[in-house]
Amino acid sequence: MPACVQFDFFLLLGVEGRPLQTEEMMHMKEIKALGGGVLHIGRTGEHEAVHVVFSLLPFKAAFSGGTPALLVRRAGDDAAYPVPLTVDGDAAYWTVTSADTEKAGFGQCELQWYAGKTLAKSAKLDFLVAQALDGGAEPPDAPSKRWFDGLEGKIGDLSKLGTKEKENLVAAINEAARSGGMGGGRTDMQVADGYIRYCADGQTWENLIALAELKGADGRDGAKGDKGEPGAQGIPGERGEPGARGEQGPVGPQGKTGAQGLQGPKGDKGDPGVQGPRGEQGPAGERGPKGEPGTPAVTAADNGKFLRVVNGVWTAEAVPSAGGASF
């Protein structure tokens, strides 16, 4: 790439280098941009009112081929976003949308030239979005209304003036405003010598209108009006003094059963009860251990014998003779 290629851009208004005509400025179609200037791309909210034209000749002279791309970063944004370009020969067109003009202030755009997928060269430009006027405010009052309101409390209740008298007063105020007598600053007013008078410079008093022009004939009493709607509930009054003690009321109905109380202390031992009936026969007990040897039965055949235990068994034996064994 030649080192001498210049990528400075110049800001030009118009088509093909000629100035915009008055009727063309109403539409504001094209801005040919490049250079050290600032692109004025419109006011906040404008949509497709401006087409920014970029010359691609410097890029084509430096590179054999490629495609352009455009990034835009609005005022206050941290990151840029891509916008579509329309390529026509040696020019690329950026159609500015309401998304691009959403934020007032200075932003930047960067025209990039890609050789394939490689960024070969880029050029950065500053642009400005002007703040559009906010039409949310109410229209200001006419001079006659401002001064008409200013008279309230100084010369009486003006709502009682008739139509003709109000017209006379408004005409006098408008005439004073047109003549420069009632400026935008403070104006003092007074009633003197049968006139409503005003002083706008702090020194000279001028007659605004004679009071006689504001006084109409007394009208008849109007009909009685309809009954008004009930008023809003008043605030609670102060607490009154305690009243006298009333008579005792009747006995009330029986209350509900209360909850179970706590367990009381242990009582004294009661008297023995009467003997109960005989119980049923119980089941047979377990077999007991073997008993001691019983006394053997004595029969007539054992007469004259004695009993003794031999090896744990009772045995009847004959009585030994006197000379025999002893016991």
3-state secondary structure 5-38: CCCCCCCEECCCCCCCCHHHHHHCCEEEECCCCE
Residues near 56 by beta carbon (within 8 Å), at least 6 away in sequence: 68, 87, 90, 91, 92, 113
Q: What is the CATH number of domain 12-130?
A: 2.60.40.10
Side-chain-facing half-sphere of 219: CA atoms under 13 Å = 8
Could you give the C-alpha distances from 114 to 55, 102, 117, 252, in angstroms and in order? Answer: 15, 29, 6, 100
Cα separation, 209 vs 193, in Å, equals 11
Render each residue's pLDDT in the chain as its tens digit; 327 residues.
Answer: 333 333 343 333 333 333 333 333 334 457 766 556 788 899 999 988 888 999 998 888 888 789 999 999 999 999 999 999 999 999 999 999 999 999 999 999 999 999 988 999 998 999 999 998 887 777 765 555 555 565 655 555 566 666 777 677 777 776 666 655 555 555 677 777 877 777 777 778 888 778 777 665 566 677 788 888 888 887 888 888 888 888 888 988 988 888 888 888 888 888 888 888 888 888 888 888 887 766 666 676 666 666 676 776 767 677 666 554 444
Domain residue spans of the chain: 12-130, 143-214
Cα separation, 177 vs 180, in Å, equals 5
**Which residue has 């060269």 as its token pair?**
121
Dihedral over alpha carbons 222, 226, 232, 237 (to 10 degrees): 80
Q: Which two tokens stand for residue 222?
A: 């109007």
Enter the pTM of the model.
0.40
Residues forming a β-bridge with 55: 91
